[in-house]
Amino acid sequence: NAGVTQTPKFQVLKTGQSMTLQCAQDMNHNSMYWYRQDPGMGLRLIYYSASEGTTDKGEVPNGYNVSRLNKREFSLRLESAAPSQTSVYFCASTRDSISYEQYFGPGTRLTVT
């Protein structure tokens, strides 16, 4: 089992460009999450999907959109990238929405110039 996979590993964007970060899990988990990690600020929840077909905003959703494509895949889209979105992005999954034991992907390091 690969667990949680993310693509790409690294990305550089210019201000105003758009891109989609991909995430997939093979653990048959129901819930999936997107976080950003900035120095000294820990992990902050952007969006999550409690189950296939549902998505909810987290703590810092502005500037992002998500799609729960199917049970396995949860993508994060930046429609018009800004330098403030420079960060490391992590996707995670849990067995269900009441489990707090998260399994993380390896991350995507995004730089917006």
Residue number, 17 or 104, with CB nearest to other proteins = 104
Among 58, 65, 67, 73, binds other proteins (CB under 8 A): 58
Maximum alpha-carbon separation in the chain: 38
Closest CA to 36 of 2, 86, 78, 75: 86
Angle at 27 (CA atoms; ends 8, 88), nearest 5 degrees:
30
- Backbone angle region of 55, left / alpha / beta, with phi > 0 → left and psi within -120 to 50 → alpha: beta
Residue number, 49 or 85, with CB nearest to other proteins = 49
Counting contacts by CB under 8 A, is residue 101 touching other proteins? yes
Among 57, 79, 80, 82, binds other proteins (CB under 8 A): 57
Closest CA to 77 of 41, 108, 51, 42: 108
Residue number, 17 or 52, with CB nearest to other proteins = 52
Q: How many CA atoms lie within 13 A of 49 on its CB side?
A: 26
Residue number, 81 or 91, with CB nearest to other proteins = 91
Counting contacts by CB under 8 A, is residue 26 touching other proteins? no
Binding residues for other proteins (CB under 8 A) = 4, 33, 35, 40-45, 48, 56-59, 90, 92, 100-107
